[in-house]
A and B are shown apart, each in its own frame.
Chain A
Amino acid sequence: MSTLHAAIILPFILAIGVPLLKRLPGRPHPGWAVLLGPAALFIYFLGQIPSVQAGQGIVSTIPWIPSLGIEVTVLLDGLSLLFALLISGIGALVTLYSIFYMDKKREAVHRFYTYLLLFMGAMLGVVLSDNLIVLYGFWELTSISSFLLISFWHHRERSRYGAFKSMLITVFGGLAMLAGFVLLYRMTGTFSIREIIQSTDLIKGHSLMLPTLLLVLLGAFTKSAQFPFHIWLPDAMEAPTPVSAYLHSATMVKAGLYLVARLTPVFAGQAAWFWLVSAVGLITLIFGSFKAIKQTDLKAMLAFSTISQLGLIMALLGLGSASGYFTDIQQSLFYSKATMAAIFHLLNHAVFKGALFMVVGIVDHETGTRDIRKLGGLMSIMPVTFTVALIGTFSMAGIPPFGGFLSKEMFFTAVLNAGEMGIWNMQTWSLWFPLIAWVASVFTFAYSMVLLFRTFTGKLQEQELSKRPHEAPVGMLISPVIMASLALVFGLFPGLLSYSLIEPAMASILPGLLAPGEKFQVSIQFWHGWTPEVFMTIGVIAVGILVFALSSKIKALHNPLFTRFSLNGVYDSGLRTMERSSQWITNKYMTGSVRHYLIYIFAFLIVVLGVIMFAFDGFSLDMSSYAPVTIYETAILLALIIAASAVPFANSRLLAIILTGSVGYMVTLFFVIFRAPDLALTQLIVETVSVTLFLLCFYHLPKLKKELSVLKFKLTNFLISLGVGTMVTLIALSALSAGSSHPFESISKFFLEASYKLAGGKNVVNVILVDFRGFDTMLEIVVLGIASLGIYAMIRLSLDDEQQVQLPS
C-alpha cells in the first residue's frame, strides 16, 4: 500500500460518503465536499512532478490474486502522471462548475456525484495500473459509470438510447481488449506492462502478434471514438454538460489514446500498428471535422470536433511509433517528434475542449437552447463567456498565440516528416498524409469559426429563446476562465509543460530511445522560420475563412450525401436485424411442439453417434463369441417382433395397450429362459401393474376428441425411428465384438465366489442388490417413494378450476 493506492481509492471512498451527505441539516450542495477530493489529488500529483522528472516514479504492489499473477500494481511515470493530472485537475474544475450547473433542488445531485466520483476513481485506476487485468477492471468501470452518467436524466428517451449505445460499443471494445491482454499473457507470461515491455523480443514475430494487436486496438478505438466506432460519442451528448466536458472531451475518450501510448513500446516498429493507428486516426480526423460543420447543435458540433481531434492525436501516436523501427538514434528522434506533438496536443485539447463544453453549457443554461440557428448576438450580453469561447475556438482552430497553434504546427511537421520515412510503402502515400491533415485543418478552422461567430455575433433573436439571456453567475465562470487561461499559457509558455510533463511522458512512451540517465530535449518554439508548416497554416486560415463564408452553401451541397448513408443507420438497422433474426430463428425451432423437440433430440443422437462411429471406424462385427441360438429363443423373438411391430398399426388404443403388455410378458419369458428368476418375477408383476395403469388412462380419455384412427404415417418420424433403431443395433453389435476382441475379465466371477463366503447368501442377485450394492437399492426405493408422493400430490392437491393459475400464453 502506497500513497498512490490511496489516491486511487480516495474517490471511491468519497463516492460511498456522498449519499450520506443527504442527511446533513440544511442540505448543502454536495459538490463542495466532493470538490475537496479531486483538488487534493491534483495537489498530490503536482507534488510528484519533480520525482517523476528525475525518473523516480512510484511503483508499488499489493497482491490481489497472486496465484494468477494478478496484482494491484500501481505505477507513476511520466505518461500516467500527465493523465492523472488531467483527470484530477479537470475533475476539480468540472466539479466546481457542476455545483452551479446542477440544481440541488431539482436534480438528484447526490446520485450525480456518486457516479462522477466512481468514474474519477476508475479513470485514475486505468492510468495508474501496471497490471493489465486490473487496468481492464477499471476500464470497464469507466464504461459502466459513463453509462450511468449519460443516462443521468433517465426519463428522457434519447438519454437512454445514447447510454445504451455507448455501453454496447465500449463494452464490445473492452472485451476485445481483454482478449488481447490474455494473448499478451500467453506470449510473455506476465500481466505486468513493465515486464511485457521488457520482453518485447518474445512478441516480435510471434504468430499471435497480429491478433493481439488488432484486439487491443479495437479496445482503444472504441473507447476513443475512432472511425467507425465514433457513433456513440455524439449520442452521449445527452448527458449533463459537466459530464460531457469531463468524460467526453478530457478524460474517458482519451483512455484509448492512453492505451495506445502505453503499449507503444510493445508494438512500435510494427508496420500493422503504424498503419492502423495512423490511418484510422487520419480518417477519424477528416471525417469528424467534415461532419462537425454540418451540425446545428452546439454539443453535437463539439462532439464531432472531439472525434476529429482524437483522430489527430491517434494519428500522431501512430506516426511517432515509427521511431521504434529505426536503429539509428538520430532518425528515431526525428520521427519521435510526432509523439511529442501528440502529448502536447492531448494537453491542449483537454483544456480548450473542456472550456468550450462549459461555454456551451453556460449558453444552454442562460438561453435555454443549444441550437445554432436560434443563437446569435450574445457577445455583448455575455462578454466573459465570449472571451473564453474565443480563446477556446482559436486554440482549436490553430491560430497563434494559443496552444493549439503550436500543436498544429507540430502536427504538420510530423506528417511532412512521415513522407521521408521510406518504409512500409510510405513512398506511395507520402503526399496523402500532409494533404489529409491540411484539408482536415481547414474544416477544423471553419467549424471553429462557425461555433464562435454564429453563437456570439450577429443579431440576437430574442423571440426564439425561452429565457432572457444574461451573463452566467461567477461560480459557473471560474472553471472555464481557468481553462481558457491555461490554453493561453500553454501557447505562450510551452516550455513550462515541456520540461515538467512532456519530457517524462515521452520517456515512458519511447523508452527505447534513451540511454540510462538521458532525457528528451523538448523545445517547443513559436517561431521557427519560414518553414512549409507556416505556409500550410496560412493556407488553412485563408481557405478556412473561405469555407466559413460559404459554409451555408456547402452545407446544402453535402446534406443529401450524408443522409443517404450514415453509420448510425448501419448501427440501428444492424441492431434491429439482429433482434429480428434471433427472434425469427427462435420462433422457427422453438415451436412448442414436443414432437419437434423429440425429432431434434433423436436426429442429434443419430448424427453424433453415426459421425463418431464413422470417423473412428468404430463399426465391427465379430461373431466368434456368440452363443448358439435355440428354438425357444427364436420362437419368443418372433412373437415379440410380431407384437411390437403390430403396435403402430393397431387401430384402437386398447389393442395397442394389450400388445404392449404382451411384449412385456414376452420379455418375462426371455428372463425365464435366460435364467433370471428374480427378474422374471419382478417383470411379471410390474408389467401387470403398468398395463392396468394404461387401461386406467385409456378409460379416462376425454370424450370430446376421441381418436380411434390408425396412426398417420409420417416420413420424418419413420426415418428417425429407423435411424435410431439401426444406430443402437449397430452400436450393440460393435460393443459385443469389441468385448470379445478385448477380453476383459468380467467381475461377475467375484460375486459368484464371494456371495456365500462374504455375505452368507446363495441368491447372488439379491446379495448384490442388498449387500454388495445396497446403496443403489436404497436410493431406488427413495425414487419409488418420491414417485408415489408425486402421484398423491398431483391427484390430491390439484387446484380447483377457479383457483387455476393463469399461465401466460
Chain B
Amino acid sequence: MKINDVILQTVTKIVVFIILTMAVYLFVSGHNSPGGGFIGGLVLASALVLLFLAFDTETIMNRIPLDFKMVAAVGAFIAVATGVVSLFFDVPFLSQAYSYFNLPVFGQTGLATVTIFELGVALAVVGVVVTIILSISEDV
C-alpha cells in the first residue's frame, strides 16, 4: 500500500528551512549566547533526519550527494588543523585569536579563529549523526 504523505512532505519542505536557519543561528551565536558547534551540528543533523523521514533516503542522497563519513572526517580534520596552524605562529597548540574588523555590510564585527574550530566540530557532529542513522536504517 502506497502511503500518501503529502502533508508531511509539504510541511517538511517549509520546516526544514526553519530548522536550518535555527541551526545556523545556534552555530553563529554560540560564542556569546547558548549554542555553538555541537548543538548547531545536532540541529542541522535533525533537519536532515526530518528529510530522510519525509522522503526516502535515496531521494535525499541524490539531492545532497555527500558521503557523511567524509563530512565527519573533514570536520575532525578542520578541528585538528586549526590547532596545527597555531603552531606556525609560534603559539601553543590550539591557541585561538580574535579581532574586530570593519566589514562593508556588517559594520564592526568580531571575527575569531574559534569559529573555524567550531565549524570542524559542527561538521563532525553532522557527519557522525547522519552516518549512524543511515547505517542503521540500511540494516533495518
Residues of A within 8 A of B (CB): 677-678, 681-682, 685-686, 689, 693, 696, 700, 759-763, 765-767, 769-771, 774-775, 777-778, 781-782, 784-785, 787-789, 791-792, 795-796
Contacts and interface: CB of A to CB of B under 8 A. Distances in A.
A759 B35 contact: no
B129 interface: yes
A792 B135 contact: yes
Interface stretch (B2-10, B54-62, B116-124): B116-124
B33 A763 contact: yes
A679 B21 CA distance: 21
In this complex, the member of A686, A775, A784 whose beta carbon has the largest number of chain B beta carbons within 10 angstroms is A784
Contacts of A685: 39, 42-43, 46
A759 B127 contact: no
Contact of A796 (B32, B94, B135): B135
Given A760-B110, A763-B30, A770-B37, A785 B98 contact: no
A767 to B, nearest CB: 7
Interface string B19-46: 0000000100011111111110011001
B80 A767 contact: no
A774 to B, nearest CB: 5
A446 to B, nearest CB: 85
Contact of B33 (A759, A762, A774, A777): A762
A781 B124 contact: yes
In this complex, the member of A682, A700, A785, A796 whose beta carbon has the largest number of chain B beta carbons within 10 angstroms is A785
Contacts of B125: 781, 784
In this complex, the member of B36, B72, B79, B138 whose beta carbon has the largest number of chain A beta carbons within 10 angstroms is B36
Main SS at interface, chain B: helix
Given A770-B117, A770-B121, A781-B121, A681 B39 contact: yes
Nearest to A793: B135
A677 B131 CA distance: 27
Contact of A759 (B46, B69, B114, B139): B114
Contacts of B72: 784-785, 788-789
B139 A789 contact: no
Contacts of B127: 785, 788
A761 B128 contact: no
B93 A761 contact: no
6 contacts: A759-B98, A763-B30, A770-B118, A788-B129, A792-B69, A796-B138
In this complex, the member of B31, B69, B98 whose beta carbon has the largest number of chain A beta carbons within 10 angstroms is B31
B31 A789 contact: no
Given A770-B118, A784-B72, A787-B132, 10 more contacts: A681-B35, A759-B98, A766-B35, A775-B94, A777-B79, A784-B125, A785-B73, A788-B128, A788-B129, A792-B131
In this complex, the member of B33, B38, B140 whose beta carbon has the largest number of chain A beta carbons within 10 angstroms is B38
Give the interface residue-count category, chain B: 35 or more
B76 A682 contact: no
Main SS at interface, chain A: helix
Interface in B86-140: 93-94, 96, 98, 110, 112, 114, 117-118, 120-121, 124-125, 127-129, 131-132, 135-136, 138-140
Nearest to A696: B136
Contacts of B42: 682, 685-686
A781 B69 contact: no
A761 B31 contact: yes
A668 to B, nearest CB: 13
A686 B136 CA distance: 17
Contact of B31 (A681, A762, A777, A792): A762
Contacts of B80: 778
A767 B98 CA distance: 12
Interface string B48-83: 000000000000000000000100110110011001
B76 A767 contact: no
Given A685-B43, A770-B121, A761 B114 contact: yes
A769 B125 CA distance: 15
A589 B60 CA distance: 53
A696 B124 CA distance: 24
Contacts of A784: 72, 124-125, 128
Contact of A785 (B26, B34, B112, B128): B128
B112 A761 contact: yes
